[in-house]
Structure 1
């Protein structure tokens, strides 16, 4: 014959709770001072551990959500040039931090990086998300290289313009008559003076 299910009423639940509370109070009243101290320490440690675990879970979830929101905002609003500039600044700051850290800090950081990488791999990134992230990375890298190449070309153009103007001024000075050339200083002035003295002696 199948077992019939009995419905528990609120009065029965309240009576059971009262019975458990009475048994717990009786047990606490019969324990010694050392047993009471050990029980309080154990309760305090377990409560602290549970509270710390709950706080860590909430903190980790909040940090992850804030980080994901920031990345989504940057991916939606950021241009490739701005992303390249931001990544360059982050890389320089990271390099400075790593140069200033001790070997113990470096080993701890690498262990944390390995754990974070393992956690990221466990989230199982979809192929579409991986392709989008890779395309975004290569787009930013191309923009960064193009910006560096443009800066190099601008520097070369400035140097060429300066040299062209300097050569033009030297050529115009050489085309002038010796008497119309501006006075020079140092060895060139002494040489011109000696040449003028020799010409007068002749």
Structure 2
């Protein structure tokens, strides 16, 4: 394969879709970077220009998403409760995922099939919780309240995300997050 292939547009997207196909067909552990590059029609060098390793194909948007959430927390009006701030912050990631429904669905299946990937997913969620708690504390939310609100946020995002990837109707992630938040608030306040 010549140098031309590595400069073709869309290499990153082709690598991502090739990885999902390979992880589904061969399994994550059996998939090699060389195989991914070949499937995508690029060189291994091109793969490593886009991703540090084959796991990062599945986790490459985590930092960007975390940035969206923490920026939304900082931007919310001061009069809102921590739970409302965190709900609105996780609703804000809806546009981030709007065009990624199929990728997200297939990604979730690949992660669920591999304990190492599942462990990595949980670590990323923990990192997100810590960042949201820090962002809430920066707004002046008390330590324990920030921790609880961050846990609430992680829960509504996780459950809302699972509902969204299983929903064929086209309802947005933001709506699933809001609905999950409303349901959890009712559950918490029910005597």
Q: What TM-score do you get using the length of structure 1 for normalisation?
A: 0.27
Q: What TM-score do you get using the length of structure 2 for normalisation?
A: 0.28
Choose 1 or 2 for highest CA Rg: 1
